[in-house]
Amino acid sequence: MTEKVEQRICIKFCFKLEKTCAETIEAFGDECMGKTQIKEWYKFKNGRTSVDSDSRSGRPTTGKTSDNVERVRVAIEQVRRLTVRELEDDLAISKSTVYRILSEDLGMTRVCMYITKIYLIARKL
């Protein structure tokens, strides 16, 4: 159990003993989390029962999944001239995730068409 969770359990215990927030802060002294955090955890009186952190809202970090890697691979196999933006729009994946999948998972790099032309001309000579 981490130190933060242990402190939260102690705060909940003090709350159950009907200690005030100020008394709890005084009991912990300097070796505790901040006053604002203790006041936030004193929300047990509002019906909170868990000492674990609340889940946070926001975009989930599941962009680079095996399913998305496979979807990008299949799309590239069907049409080799797709751009990253087209993949982003078609598959509803962020541009940075598409870049990461193409470079890290599929090992693809962009080859400039001018270098390709120079290479082909040099090869003919």
**The pLDDT value given to residue 70:** 92
Same domain, 111 and 72: yes
56 lies in some domain: no
Q: In which domain, by residue range, is 1 found?
A: 1-46
- For residues 65-79, average pLDDT: 89
Same domain, 71 and 31: no
pTM, to two decimals? 0.43
Task: Give the residue, 121 or 69, on which the prediction is more confident.
Answer: 69
Helix (H) / strand (E) containing 36: helix 35-41
Instruction: Give 42's DSSP letter.
Output: G
51 lies in some domain: no
Same domain, 29 and 73: no
| Residue 25: closest CA among 74, 103, 36, 17 | 36
51 SS3 class:
coil
**The pLDDT value given to residue 21:** 78
Same domain, 118 and 83: yes
11 lies in some domain: yes
Whether 114 has a pLDDT exceeding 60, the answer reads: no
- For residues 43-49, average pLDDT: 60
55 lies in some domain: no
Same domain, 34 and 70: no
Looking at the 3D structure of the chain, how many domains does it have? 2
Cα 71 to the center of its chain, rounded Å: 21
